[in-house]
A and B are shown apart, each in its own frame.
Chain A
Amino acid sequence: MSISRRKFLQSSVIAGGAAATAPYYFMRSARAADELEVGVLFSLTGGLSIVEKSLADATLMAIEEINAEGGVMGKMIKPVVEDGASDPKTYNEKASKLVIQDRVPSVFGSYTSASRKAVLPVFEKRRNLYFYPTYYEGFECSKNVVYTGAVPNQQLSNFIPWIVENLGKKKFFIVGSNYIYPREMAKVSKILIEQAGAEWVADEYLELGHSEWGAMVKKIKDSGCDVVLSNVVGDSVVAFYREFKNQGLTHDTLPICATVTSEIEIAAMGAEFAAGSFTSFPYFQAIDTDANQAFVERYRKYVGDANAVTHHALESSYFQVYLWKQAVEKAGEATPEAIREGVKGQVFDAPNGTVTVDPENLHTYLTPRIAQWDDKGQGTIVDAYDAPVRPLPYVAYGETSENLFCTASGLDTSKL
């Protein structure tokens, strides 16, 4: 029997086509009725994977815990994990895939603002729902995103008055990486510094990822400031704190007060370089409650690393899955719109305390805390609010609890 080349090609194209489509149909029909798919979208590769992997782990851990207790409305949650590869464009593609092909009703994901901005059009156009766990600069009001990390007023409105009153500092040197988050944070800081009756002597930026701090630290030294407010991000944090110490500055006399430096960065730089400095976050690994200690233990066991650290965005990645679960149960169905209506006003006892989703702007009430780092890389909580604070994403533009810019009906641009 001889098979001509043409014939072979024809039949293999048909066979190949059948083989390629078969799993798709198979998958559709095999999607069990007792399963509920959700998207998990973090960078598992690339430069940001160091942090984002831990966020993905916390998300999957929450899903596993919920499933172990019977799932959501009797259905098991099935995570569809995609890799954003530290690249906003990839984020956009993977978000489209999750929303259009997998038709998941919600996606948990993103660490950087750049990746969130990249996926935003997908979720808004397809009316899907994105759960974003990271502290960010605010200035966003989407009906399709639930924000569970801190916004500037939850990191700064307690921090700056506290620095002025308790540390007695009057002259701020504001330093940050050169992109939107540090610049917005600086804007809010300046308002608060003036309100507190202090002044800022400089507002300086360094390229993202820059690690040569010689000239900047010298400027800090020569500026006559008595406190440094740092919005430096990522790898640069490590080089900054190291150079600070190498130039002979100490946190006793000139403390760095940071909004980004978390347990992860401290572990990466070596604890001795940060000992004595301060950070403001709603969550620290050191929060001394049984709920949090148990959470840290569970996380360490889950990732199989007895020294793993937990941090603010990680904790938000964890509790937002529970908020989502409660929202689905309240809505009684798993469609994006129903979940969004369901999540409004949801309350959950997270490791950091009680969190509530604001029904107006879909941001989360969180409890601001300030920690001082010790020489073991852990924070000592030196100040905490009694109650969670309302999220105000437009605080830099004059938003207050009485005068919201971002409400359930959308952003009131006339107030900007």
Chain B
Amino acid sequence: MADVIFIGLSLSSILLLIALGLTIIYGAMGVINMAHGELVMIGAYTAVMTGIYLGFNLIAALPVAFLVAGGIGFLMERAVIRHLYGRLLDTLLATWGIAIILKQAIRLEFGLSFLDIHIDGLGTGLQNVAIPAFLNQPWSIGGIEVQSYRTFIILLTVFLALVTWFLMYRTSYGIQVRAIMRNADMAAACGIDVKKVSSLTFAYGSGLAGVAGVMMAGFKTVSPDMGSSLVVDGFLVVVVGGVGSLLGSVASAGFLGQVNGIFATYSNDILARAVVFGVVILIIMWRPQGLFSFKGR
């Protein structure tokens, strides 16, 4: 039983890792960021590239991916999203467009492939990232074999969730973000620089996606399309948890991960996936605003 719970916990942590950035961006700015999966992909490619050119291992790539994805998020916000606040459908389309641009940029090696220049680590091909040896070996704790890589992801997710909580609830920046979440006009009237805080929030959320990408790179192949399927899982968590609620995301990721893990173990993965979607539908019928939610903008 303990190992089933561990599988569920591991699934939860991956869900939360992807959803964490999404929930902040969605909550703080009302932007459905369709490019979130592609920011995860950018993070994974950062791990590939730093591995090839700088000899970094997976862990050393984490801060780099945070900065790269965060930087791209910052630019996205400045160049496009800033002009579309309050227009939900327009941001949906715009971020989807950005997602396609990011994918193609990687696939076409920033256009260099037209000139027959090939950059190692980019292009249409599959890439892979080596996992440091000490994260490869399982170790046993109280008679149960525990996978070190999955444990590392769980710990990292807990760490990032705590950092995010601290930022949002214990710093003046967090107070400003939460004020904007509740009522952006009122926050501006109180002297909060809404634009600046919004760009920083978007950059932070994007950076978290980059970190998620590095960890995903250890599980699966890195390819330009890898992000598209991940973003769906992220949205499930955000919708169930309640828009913009950190606690809600943690709870819903934990819950959905366990449901998935238990059904996958005792029946099969295909059924588990269907059950998860079924549970999500029931929850949003019962509580359309999500498990934890407050009235926001």
Contacts and interface: CB of A to CB of B under 8 A. Distances in A.
Interface of A: 45, 47, 49-50, 53, 178, 204-207, 209-212, 214-216, 218-219, 235, 238-239, 242-243, 245-248, 267-270
A206 B220 CA distance: 15
Given A214-B10, A248-B147, 17 more contacts: A47-B225, A50-B223, A207-B273, A209-B229, A212-B11, A215-B269, A216-B269, A218-B7, A235-B126, A238-B126, A238-B128, A239-B220, A246-B136, A246-B147, A248-B137, A248-B145, A268-B126
19 contacts: A50-B124, A205-B268, A206-B268, A212-B219, A214-B11, A215-B7, A215-B265, A215-B272, A218-B3, A218-B265, A238-B220, A239-B220, A242-B218, A242-B220, A246-B147, A247-B138, A247-B147, A269-B128, A270-B128
Interface string B5-47: 0010011001000000000000000000000000000000000
A235 B11 CA distance: 19
Contacts of A206: 268-270
Contact of A178 (B11, B138, B223, B270): B270
A245 B149 CA distance: 11
A207 B138 contact: no
B124 A49 contact: yes
Contacts of B220: 211, 235, 238-239, 242
A204 B126 contact: no
A50 B137 contact: no
Contacts of B11: 212, 214
Given A214-B7, A239-B219, A248-B145, A219 B128 contact: no
B280 interface: no
Interface residues of B, number: 36
A205 B270 contact: yes
Interface in B219-259: 219-221, 223, 225, 229
B205 interface: no
Contact of A207 (B4, B221, B269): B269
A181 B14 CA distance: 30
Interface string B115-137: 00000000011111011000011
A246 B138 contact: yes
B261 interface: yes
B264 interface: yes
Nearest to A178: B270
Nearest to A272: B130
A275 to B, nearest CB: 13
B221 to A, nearest CB: 5
Contact of A269 (B4, B7, B221): B221
B178 interface: no
A175 to B, nearest CB: 11
A215 B264 contact: yes
B111 to A, nearest CB: 15
Interface in B128-164: 128, 130-131, 136-138, 145, 147-150
B125 A50 contact: yes
Interface centre among A214, A245, A246 (most CB of B within 10 A): A214
Contacts of A219: 265
Contacts of B270: 178, 205-207
Contacts of A218: 3-4, 7, 265
A215 B128 CA distance: 23
Contacts of B131: 242, 246
Interface centre among A215, A245, A247 (most CB of B within 10 A): A215
Contact of A214 (B124, B137, B218, B261): B261
A235 B44 CA distance: 15
Nearest to B266: A215
B261 A268 contact: no
B124 A53 contact: yes
A209 B7 CA distance: 19
Interface centre among A49, A239, A242 (most CB of B within 10 A): A242
B114 to A, nearest CB: 14
Contacts of B150: 214, 246
Given A206-B270, A207-B270, A270 B130 contact: yes
Nearest to B116: A304
A247 B145 contact: yes
A235 B264 contact: no
